[in-house]
Chain A
Amino acid sequence: DGGITQSPKYLFRKEGQNVTLSCEQNLNHDAMYWYRQDPGQGLRLIYYSQIVNDFQKGDIAEGYSVSREKKESFPLTVTSAQKNPTAFYLCASSIPANYGYTFGSGTRLTVV
């Protein structure tokens, strides 16, 4: 079955450490997105990519980085510059644009 796979489901980060969240899709979607979810704040866009080897910053990109070397993959790195990384991270993809996203099941990141 086609879908989006996010891994790991739970991730713990130590202070000053970079961590990478995986997002893989086999839907043949062109566009992929990363959102951060905090209680009471809805979903905030971190980065998005509409084509391989190209991506744009969203509303809260500081402290995060991404790459899009393959159509199927859009990993998110949470760097040590992100001072408050504890949150639920959601990856999504879409084709064509504006016709709704398919979401992964999320990664819950906690700073320890």
Chain B
Amino acid sequence: AQSVTQLGSHVSVSEGALVLLRCNYSSSVPPYLFWYVQYPNQGLQLLLKYTTGATLVKGINGFEAEFKKSETSFHLTKPSAHMSDAAEYFCAVGGSGNTGKLIFGQGTTLQVKP
């Protein structure tokens, strides 16, 4: 079975500050990990994904995430927050042999203060 836990339903940072959104997963098979962003009343957009290979993954809009197997984590970071980063962020896990379904976390709302 697979599951995802996002620590913190709301995160607030100042513009220009580091963004850190936490995601821990549980998986009985090698995981595929994803981060998505959702703006109000819109669908989800893929930020980045980890399937195999390099554990530090770079995505769009300056975001990156590092897969740490020993910590079962896939935290999302961005060095300097912009006002346009304010949105809801979802971590998701999938894995080979699981029929292709993704399991999503509860989401983290990022607020960026001027």
Contacts and interface: CB of A to CB of B under 8 A. Distances in A.
Asked if A and B are interacting partners, one says yes
Given A42-B106, A100-B34, A106 B43 contact: yes
A90 B43 CA distance: 7
Contact of B49 (A31, A96, A99): A99
Contacts of B32: 98-99
Interface stretch (A13-21, A43-51, A62-70, A77-85): A43-51
Interface residues of B, number: 25
Interface in A80-107: 88, 90, 92, 94, 96-106
B99 interface: yes
Interface in B1-42: 9, 32, 34, 36, 41-42
Contact of A106 (B34, B42, B46): B42
Nearest to B94: A98
The dominant DSSP class at the B interface is loop
Interface hub of A40, A42, A103 (most chain B Cβ within 10 A): A42
A108 B41 contact: yes
Interface in A36-61: 40-43, 45, 48, 50, 56, 58
Interface of B: 9, 32, 34, 36, 41-46, 49, 51, 90, 94-96, 98-102, 104-107
Interface of A: 4, 6, 31, 33, 35, 40-43, 45, 48, 50, 56, 58, 88, 90, 92, 94, 96-106, 108
